[in-house]
Structure 1
Amino acid sequence: MVVIQIESGKIRGKVGVDARGRKFYSFQNIPYAAPPLGELRFKAPQPVRPWQGTKTCTHEGNESVSRHLMTKKFVGCEDCLNLNVYTPQLPKNGKPLPVMFWIHGGIFMTGSNKSELYGPEFLMAEDVVLVTINYRLGILGFLSLDDSSLGVPGNAGFKDMVMALKWVQGNIHHFSGDPDNVTVFGESAGAAAAHLLMLSPMTKGLLHKVIAQSASALNNWVFSKRSAKLIAKTLGFCSSDDRKLVEFLRNVPAQELLKAQIRIDSIDFLENDYRFFGAVVERPSDEEPFLSERPLDIILKGNYNHVPLIIGYNAREGMAFDNIIPFRAREPFFKNMELSVPFSLNVQRGSKISKNVADKIKRFYFGNIEQNRAENALQYYDLVTDTCFLRDIYFAVKYQARTSTKPIYFYKMTLETDLNIFKKLAGATAPGVYHGDDMGYLFKTAFTPEIVPGSVENISQKKITKLWANFARCGDPTPEWKPVEVDKINYLEIGTEMRMKVNPEPERMAFWDEFTTRFHKMTLVKIDQGELIGTISKDLDGNNFCSFRGIPYAKPPLGKLRFKAPQPAQPWQGIFPATENGNCCYSKNLFSKKMLGSEDCLNLNVYTPKIQETDLLPVMVYIHGFLSLEDKSVGIPGNAGFKDMVMALKWVQKNIKHFGGDARNVTIFGTSAGGAAVHFLMLSPMSQGLFHKVVMQSGCALNPWSRGRNCDREISDFFGKKTGGELLERLQNVPVEVILQVQEKIGFGLAPSKKKAWGLVIDHGDGAFMPQEPLEIITLKKFQTLPLMVGFAKCEGMVVETYKPARITPMLQNFENNIPHFLGIEPGSDKSEALAKKIKQKYFGNEEIPGKNHKFYEMVGDNLFVYGIYSTVKKHSLVSDAPIYFYRMSLETSLTFFQIKQAKRGAIHCDDIPYLFKTVFTPSLSSLERNFVKKFVQWWTNFARFGNPERNTWRSVNKTEMWILDIDKKPTLHEKLVHETLPFWDKIYSESPSGQKFV
């Protein structure tokens, strides 16, 4: 017996004998965290409590509650957070020993650190300190809830491992271990865990090398779906309330939880579906996350612990399929090849695509022969080896080689001797190395035969143990093992002899490489900022196109950059995963009314039918539909949102060629506020030369709602009368939620009588976006005269039905609110009251209390949209030599942007959008709708390509003729816009005292 002092107290260990006959010290069942009982069930581990006296650590501790892999008996206890330490020496003067930290496998459902499988004798002979841990399994370790306030975001089992690594940092020196030289290694689920620990931000500084045997963080069976409701339902409790669920589950005996989890966890291991218990990407919460991004994204970005890595597989892992998976679960796999289609391909089971994929897999692995379980066993084993293990290990190596600054050593184990313990236990007779067989060379087990000195077993065991120990010692297993290169996957074949080779299973991996390109849908592009990876999707006709989403085009506008002009985006290391939409700007969602997004929102999406840098394609930049302070010294002149657009257009000029786009043929287009924005861009000196054609849909610079005002006084009142630099500093330091409170308090009135709190302002000096009134710029022809396409919807004004009544009623209760601010008429003056009566009389006649009806919609549509758009076309036609194409959208189908229930009299605001973009509301298309979708896309893309939407039939506006295409079920070209109220507004604006004369 031996007693040592560690941070928590004294422990008593015992002495063992290693493979060379030398003594080593064994300390088992050392607690590394508080027992996860009661309120701590399912939660992240808490630090271990110190103890009094001497704790006896001579027998192995409890494993987690689970069913034993071999005996199938229920074993374990919830109080399972313990570890074993084995060391060939206790502290003395001299160099500390490398530490090897072992994580057992068992698909996160079974297994333990017990010496029946993981005896230390072989590794002790290599002078390393060995740590083997227990961690929570199944529901106890991997329950995940949506409600972040409950403190159960998932990954508790992985957080146990992190806690154990922290324990190592604080205690391993008491065992002669070097806390600055820790190698994490594991097999199967333990290998996936080791790789995840490498990728997690929680482990920074806690590990220095990693060995992943027969799995990686990318293996699909590593990840789980949230299964709390299903477990509870299996136990007879139904609720959609996470708080009630967790209260119920905390009070269910552990054995009953285990029985329930066994009932639901069956066929999903077959890689065709997420498992019920494993890793999750955690939702944002107050708790430090183990994993906040997908592992592939972390690898591609290079945001992980860059440490040396050994990773590999056994030649015929798939033989374990016959023993790990019950017959009832694996039998369907033999009969239905669709079950071999990886769920990560996101194809619907039973669909034509799924059946085609299954057929391709069948033909590749089995040829044209009939599937027969007995005759085709080796092919089945190869298929399972690839789909459950090798394929995703291979992809992990391939992608990580692009971003890692440290060496990656890849291996394939082909060695077959009597130390291939798991194959012997399974009674497997087919040739090849079984899943887990590598462990027989690293650990002495209860089943290890007597090893004869000089035998192949003896020689092989020493070689493999030395490779692992050398790697733990110095990060290089042996000088003869070449690391992987970016374009060449070097690997060591570990057989009776060790040989370096290139590209494992080349035909099989080439099949999955091609499959990944086509079905996993990934494509790589290099731009000025670095490499990025995108996805491949299908268009309306079933043709492929490439999608790159969430690409940063400017620095995040955070801290001191809040409200200011954007700064250029910085380059990144590794590969940027442009596979998901980036953050939208923090705002209230148009439909759900929930607050969504982030301040870090300066990103863009690029979609292209082909990636090539010859035969470049026209580019279309869509802008969807701002703070200004009067104190110029604080550097917030306004228009930052428009300057973001300019920055994005500069990005396009520099980078779009890499996506097959022609930077010399860029069309900007937008709807509503986006329509006004593209008009402002056309008029701004800042954007000269960045685009070549413009499409304005239901919005322009002459619409009254497009203009903003300086609102620093209102903001100052909100923050207690602070002004100037003091106000700016406060604004830049409050949470973004407070900024939204300010915005809500100031409000967004719909009435045209006032400029909005947020919109375009006239700014001056260096870096000015709009130094002059837009109407003056047009009249004086101080802008880019480019081909222009402009339009509006027949019933624009019905959009008011989407607004709260508080924004609409002021226009009905006081008609002075309907006088456009452009006219410069003082509210409350005789002239204002007289004009208000005139507007009311024009639209409502003698109605005493006008209601919200089609007359009201017409007034709003004319005032807010139609007249400004009509005036824009007229003004531009007088000064521009470039063609102008005018349209009115009258077409009504089920393709509508706003789901308004009232009876319509034609298309409303934004109803052209669903003909250009597929949305979440897009229904199955009728033949008429499909034809018009194609027609709209053809008009818009013809304009982008040639500057003319439809040659010979759609005539452009000129100084004397305002040709307009009425887009209805039968599109008709008219010589002029027939809209009876336009002369009324012409007369009102012609008498404007402000000089803003639109006529």
Structure 2
Amino acid sequence: MVQVRVNEGVLEGERVDNDYGGSFYSFKGIPYAQPPVGDLRFKAPKPPKAWDGVRSAKEFGPKCYQNDLFMNTGIVGEEDCLYLNVYTPEIKPDKPLPVMFWIHGGGFFCGSGNDDLYGPEFLIRHGVILVTINYRVDVLGFLCLDTEDIPGNAGMKDQVQALRWVNKNIASFGGDPNNITIFGESAGGGSVSYHLISPMSKGLFKRAIAQSGASTSPWAQAVEPRERALALARSLGFYSEDDKELYEFFKNQPKESIVSIPVAPTFSEAFRGGLEINFTVVNEKKFGDNERFFYGDMLDAVSNGVHEGVEIMTGTTTEEGLIIFGDLEVTKKLLESARAFPESFISKQLAFTVPLNQQLKMGREFRKFYFKDQVNIPDDWDKWMNFVSMQMFGYPTMQWVRHCAKDKKHKLYVYKFSCKSKRNMIAVLRGLTEMLGDRQVTSHADDIAYLFNPKLMKLKVDTASEEFKLIERVSTLWTNFAKYGNPTPDDSLGAKWAPYTLEKQEYLDIGNKLKAGTAPDAEETQFWDKLYEKYVL
């Protein structure tokens, strides 16, 4: 039995033996906010209420209500879901421990901080405290009417509230509130890059790691959020556009009615197909004295508004785009669209800002660059993957990096992740083994299994194996950054990772060996730059 006192009361956790050496203390299902139900649905979270006696912290809290399309578990979770988990190697260390605050991915429509994907066993061995959180997703987390009642970004404000709770309470678990590193992958990585420019997040963390996600990514910025909300209402048979009537309608809808419903505010989008993220982060409007999570021009904010003094690490995997592929038939349909319709190369975000005639021209240039104008089905799946990798992850990340690097006030580390082992499971889970054949890949989200012990996948690893050496190397890079602000403070990993500069564009290839380089994806990035200058900027 182990107990700690936080501001709201006493928590009872447990000591856990670590299969990979030592032990740690686990505190699960800690409420960091009041349940966002009833009149609090769609609202910014309220601080949690105190409890009497001792609260058990031995079970995870419910996941936030969602349709988990990535894990194929269907509808799971509850609206009462704002809980976090704390794992610490020591309750009373000689010196307060660095804190790593994990923000899960899942496209802003699914995911949780539970150990089905994010077991703490690897990171905790390095003398850091790990915090994982739930936050509202999909409609319940990101619906926006551009009104005071539903201004949007509720899920992001959950993350801020969790950070505020950690700042106030982590010392009780042996943590240093002045040394918090936020990190996340995919939507979690996009979240991290938003926190770097959000006025609500300023001063709540010291360092940040954005994995495979940036606020500049097309899926991380809502396009016409009110129109999307109106389209959702229409799909449910409600046609009023009165603000108060809409608020009452959405507030009183059963949660089962409003989550995971296809929403297309335009005719063309309804026929795009593929995985669309309907509800995400919005550029918030001002209402009275409400706190806004994000507002203003994105690229200007990244160029001039990143919180001063915060150290940053960011990068992508080598085959990010595989995450959108399904079986061979799905792949064929993607390629058929690429062959038939040039505008299929245009993201939903650009489709709202670039005129259709320009979309056609831009799409043809993309097709010529990636396919040499000849799309072979299904053999050219890898060319489509390369395009999607840059569209959704690679180019937005490099946009973000280069704008952030302009003011030279931030130490910034850039990587490409290319580790390959049996831990690279995404292609298998997506049913891509037939398509890939013998080719080894590092898909979107394959980096997670080198940092976390995903209980759901049962990837037990021998501590004497080459796989475990990779896990140790990757987790050392991440925890070194959290401890020192430098992933390679000495020569023990066999490579020195130089901070990124616009002049040299330094980065580290994190593969089965570490390799320093310059100008990642240079040819593709230059091509995308020219197209954006020509058609977008």
Normalising by structure 2, we get a TM-score of: 0.91
Contact 2:335/2:384 (8 A) holds in 1: no
Count residues in correspondence: 517
Asked if the contact 1:105/1:111 (under 8 Å) is kept, the reply is: yes
**What letter is aligned with 2:474?**
I
For 2:522, the equivalent position in structure 1 comes to: 506
**Distance (Å, rounded) in 1 between the aligned partners of 2:253 and 2:334:** 31
* 1:499-898 pair list within 5 angstroms: 499-521=515-537
Q: 1:277 aligns with which of 276, 279, 283?
A: 279
Amino acid at match of 2:465: S
Worse overlay, 338-347 or 123-132: 338-347
Q: Hey, what's the Cα distance between the residues in 2 that align with 1:324 and 1:305?
A: 45
Tell me the residue number matched to 1:229. 230
The superposition leaves residues 667-690 of structure 1 with CA deviations (integer Å, 9 ceiling, x where unpaired) of xxxxxxxxxxxxxxxxxxxxxxxx
Distance between the aligned counterparts of 1:520 and 1:325, measured in 2? 33
2:405 equivalent among 398, 401, 407: 401
Residues 1:317 and 2:320 are matched in the alignment: yes
Task: Report the alpha carbon displacement of residue 330 of structure 1 after superposing the two structures with TM.
Answer: 4.5
| 1:455 CA drift (Å) | 2.2
Q: Is the 8 A contact 1:272 1:341 kept in 2?
A: no
Q: Give the AA of the match of 2:536.
A: H
**Structure 2: distance between partners of 1:35 and 1:358:** 46
Tell me what 2:118 maps to.
Answer: 118
Secondary structure at the aligned position of 1:514 is classed as: helix
Deviation at 1:184? 0.4
Amino acid at match of 1:316: E
Gaps of 5+ in 1: 522-999
Q: Which residue of 2 aligns with 1:12?
A: 12
Residue type of the alignment partner of 2:231: L
Hey, what does 2:296 align to over in structure 1?
293
- 1:44 maps to which residue? 44
Q: Tell me the equivalent position of 1:203.
A: 201
Q: State the Cα distance separating 1:416 from its structure 2 match.
A: 0.7
| Structure 1 equivalent of residue 370 of structure 2 | 365
Is the contact between residue 327 and residue 431 of structure 2 (CA under 8 Å) also seen in structure 1? Answer: no
Contact 2:108-2:187 within 8 A present in 1 as well: yes
Task: Please say if 1:188 is aligned against 2:198.
Answer: no
Hey, what does 1:662 align to over in structure 2? none
Task: Provide structure 2 residue ranges, at least 5 long, that are not aligned to the other structure.
Answer: 490-495
1:411 equivalent to 2:415? Answer yes
CA shift digits 1:525-580 (9 cap, x unpaired):
xxxxxxxxxxxxxxxxxxxxxxxxxxxxxxxxxxxxxxxxxxxxxxxxxxxxxxxx
Offset of residue 20 of structure 1? 3.5
Specify the alignment match of 1:251 in structure 2. 252
1:74 shift after superposition: 0.5
Q: Which position in structure 2 is the counterpart of 1:632?
A: none
2:459 is the counterpart of 1:449: yes
- Amino acid corresponding to residue 37 of structure 2 in structure 1: L
Shift of 1:17: 2.4
- In structure 1, the residue matched to 2:493 is none
C-alpha distance 168-16 of structure 1, shift in aligned 2 (>3 A):
same
Distance 2:296 2:326 in 1: 33
| Counterpart AA for 2:378 | A
Q: In the alignment, what sits opposite 1:856?
A: none
Report what 1:141 is aligned to. 141
Letter in 1 for 2:292: P
Q: Is the 8 A contact 1:19 1:121 kept in 2?
A: yes
Structure-2 separation of matches of 1:90 and 1:323: 45
The amino acid across from 2:343 in the alignment is E
Structure 1 residues 297-323: Cα deviation after superposition (integer angstroms, max 9, x where no partner): 211223534411110000011111114
Q: Does 1:384 align with 2:382?
A: no
Q: Which is worse superposed, 437-446 or 224-233?
A: 224-233
Hey, what's the Cα distance between the residues in 2 that align with 1:292 and 1:281?
5
One-letter code aligned to 2:85 = N
Quick one: distance in 2 between partners of 1:321 and 1:512? 21
Q: SS state of the match for residue 437, structure 1? A: coil
CA distance in 1, matches of 2:7, 2:328: 43
- Does the Cα contact within 8 Å between 1:483 and 1:490 map onto a contact in 2? yes
C-alpha offsets along residues 483-514 of structure 1, whole Å, 9 cap, x if unaligned? Answer: 11022211100111101001111211111121
Taking the aligned partners of 1:411 and 1:172, their CA distance within structure 2 comes to 30
- Do the aligned partners of residues 293 and 352 (structure 1) sit closer, same or farther apart at CA in structure 2, a change above 3 Å counting? closer
Q: 1:169 aligned to 2:167?
A: yes
SS class of match (2:368): helix
Q: 1:433 to 1:267 in 2, by over 3 A?
A: farther
Q: State the alpha-carbon separation in 1 of the partners of residues 379 and 313 from structure 2.
A: 35
1:425 aligns with 2:435: no
Quick one: which amino acid aligns to residue 66 of structure 1?
A: Q
Identify the range of structure 1 (423-432 vs 58-67) with the bigger mean alpha-carbon deviation: 423-432
How far apart are the structure 2 equivalents of 1:514 and 1:255?
Answer: 45
Q: Secondary structure at the match of 1:365?
A: helix
Amino acid at match of 2:420: E
1:437 alignment partner, one of 432, 441, 446: 446
Quote the residue 1:536 is aligned against.
none
Shift in Å, 1:374: 1.4
Distance 1:271 1:497, change over 3 A: farther
Give the C-alpha shift of residue 425 in structure 1: 2.2
Aligned to 1:88: 89
**Equivalent residue for 1:98?**
98
Structure 2 residue 465 is the aligned partner of structure 1 residue 475 = no
Extract structure 1 runs of 4+ deviating beyond 6 A.
262-274, 347-350
Assess if the C-alpha contact under 8 Å between 1:146 and 1:242 holds in 2. Answer: no
User: 2:411 touches 2:500 (CA, 8 Å); kept in 1?
Assistant: yes
Indicate conservation of the 8 Å contact 1:347/1:353, yes or no.
no
Mapped pair 1:352 → 2:354: no
Name the aligned partner's letter for residue 293 of structure 1. G
Code of the residue aligned with 2:79 in structure 1: it is E
Question: Could you tell me how far apart the structure 1 residues matched to 2:329 and 2:195 are?
Answer: 30
Quote the Cα distance in structure 2 between the aligned partners of 1:364 and 1:489: 23
- Asked which structure has the greater RCO (Cα within 8 Å, sep 6+), the reply is 2
Cα–Cα, structure 1 residues 48 and 270, in superposed 2: closer, same or farther, change >3 Å?
farther
Q: What is the CA-CA distance between 1:326 and the residue it aligns to?
A: 10
Alpha-carbon deviation of 1:418?
0.9
**Are the structure 2 counterparts of residues 138 and 348 from structure 1 closer, same or farther at C-alpha, using a change threshold of 3 Å?**
closer
Residue identity in the other structure for 2:196: M
CA contact (8 A) 2:109 2:277 kept: no
> What CA distance in whole angstroms lies between the structure 2 residues aligned with 1:269 and 1:129?
46
Q: 1:296 to 1:388 in 2, by over 3 A?
A: same
How far apart are residue 163 of structure 1 and its match? 0.2
The AA in structure 1 aligned to 2:237 is G
- Structure-2 change in CA distance of 1:246 and 1:332 (3 Å): farther
Letter in 2 for 1:386: M
**Residue 375 (1) aligns with residue 384 (2):** no
Structure 1 residue 275 displacement after superposition: 4.3
Note the alpha carbon deviations across 1:877-927, whole angstroms, 9 max, x for none. xxxxxxxxxxxxxxxxxxxxxxxxxxxxxxxxxxxxxxxxxxxxxxxxxxx
Q: CA deviation at 1:263?
A: 8.5
Change (3 A) 1:178 1:409: same
Q: Which has the larger radius of gyration?
A: 1
Structure 2 residue identity aligned to 1:322: F
Aligned to 1:762: none
Counterpart selection for 2:507 from 480, 491, 508: 491
What percentage of residue pairs aligned between the two structures are identical?
Answer: 36
Tell me the amino acid that sits aligned with residue 277 of structure 1. F
Q: Contact conserved, 2:426 with 2:444, CA < 8 A, in 1?
A: yes
Structure 2 Cα separation of the partners of residues 435 and 303 of structure 1: 26
Deviation, 1:516, is: 2.1
Q: Counterpart of 1:139 in structure 2: which amino acid?
A: V
**C-alpha spacing 1:373/1:14, structure 2 compared with 1 (3 Å):** farther
What are the Cα deviations for residues 228-272 of structure 1, in whole angstroms up to 9, with x where unaligned?
Answer: 211111111111111110101111111111153579899789899
Q: 1:415 to 1:180 in 2, by over 3 A?
A: same
